[in-house]
């Protein structure tokens, strides 16, 4: 017996503002020493039950913010480019870690990549891409240029050219082409999905009736 099921199409209108586009940006850096900084240090797990998506910036590194913590020092005040070590964002998956970094005012994170360690954990990298946070990886020598410049130094990130300018140094970096395009266009994961809304609607219109045999 053949059965036919018809799905009535429903038009869904989604208003989505996306994220701030990233092209060329100049800001002050804050150097946070140390490798393998996990997500629980970035944003402690006890804050993950909050209902709102806002208010995480003030909780960034809250369990380790002693008076001499790197981000509490006067030279780090107002910094918007966070320079970290290797394997940043390891540990459990939580978008809250990305939200906390963004809401604390950081537009980009720059990590060190070595032959034996990536700059970021895979899950943190994907969460950052989904939320529109720029992650950059530099080899040790180039990364050391920023570390030696120190917190408070200014740097310019040119995403289309894939370079960081700091003083007289030009530091090139690689980035996934799809992630780069989304950041330049100001698209997070939802925005990227909505980019294909016409294709999705066309697919649904072709598959609103299913016939199967029992």
pLDDT of residue 197: 61
pLDDT of residue 103: 96
DSSP secondary-structure letter at 69?
A: -
pLDDT of residue 17: 58
Model confidence pLDDT, tens digit, residues 82-131: 999 999 999 988 899 999 999 999 999 999 999 999 999 999 999 999 89
Q: Where do the domains of the chain lie, and which CATH numbers do they carry?
A: 1-18+188-214 (no CATH), 21-185 (3.20.19.10)
Burial of 119 (0-12, 13-18, 19+ CB in 10 A): buried
pLDDT of residue 19: 75
| Alpha-carbon span 111 to 32, nearest angstrom | 10
pLDDT of residue 83: 98
Location of structure tokens 């997070």: 188
Q: Which residues pair with 165 in a beta bridge?
A: 156, 170
| Alpha-carbon span 138 to 85, nearest angstrom | 10
Average predicted confidence (pLDDT) for the chain:
87
Pick out the chain residues at pLDDT < 70: 1-18, 188-197, 199-201, 203-204, 207-214
Q: Which helix (H) or strand (E) holds 169?
A: strand 169-172
Q: Which residues pair with 81 in a beta bridge?
A: 29, 108
pLDDT of residue 113: 97
> Mapping DSSP to helix (H, G, I), strand (E, B) and coil, where does residue 131 land?
helix
> Mapping DSSP to helix (H, G, I), strand (E, B) and coil, where does residue 125 land?
helix
Phi and psi at residue 86, to the nearest 5°: -95, 160
């Amino acid at each position: 017996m053949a059965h036919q099921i018809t799905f009535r199409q429903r038009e869904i209108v989604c208003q989505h503002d996306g994220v701030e586009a990233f092209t060329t940006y100049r800001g002050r850096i804050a150097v946070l020493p140390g490798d393998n900084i996990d997500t629980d240090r970035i944003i402690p797990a006890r804050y993950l039950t909050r209902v709102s998506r806002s208010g995480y910036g003030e909780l960034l590194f809250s369990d380790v913010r002693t008076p001499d913590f790197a981000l509490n020092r006067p030279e780090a005040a107002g910094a918007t480019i966070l320079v970290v070590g290797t394997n940043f964002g390891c540990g459990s998956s939580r978008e809250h870690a990305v939200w906390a970094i963004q809401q604390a005012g950081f537009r980009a994170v720059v990590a060190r990549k070595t032959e034996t360690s990536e700059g970021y954990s895979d899950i943190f990298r994907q969460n950052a891409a989904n939320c529109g946070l720029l992650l950059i990886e530099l080899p040790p020598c180039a990364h050391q240029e920023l570390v030696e410049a120190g917190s408070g130094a200014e740097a310019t990130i040119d995403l289309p050219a894939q370079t960081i300018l700091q003083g007289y140094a030009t530091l090139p970096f690689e980035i996934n082409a799809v992630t780069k395009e989304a950041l330049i266009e100001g698209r997070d994961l939802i925005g990227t999905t909505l980019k294909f809304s016409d294709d999705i609607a066309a697919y649904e219109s072709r598959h609103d009736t299913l016939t199967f045999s029992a």
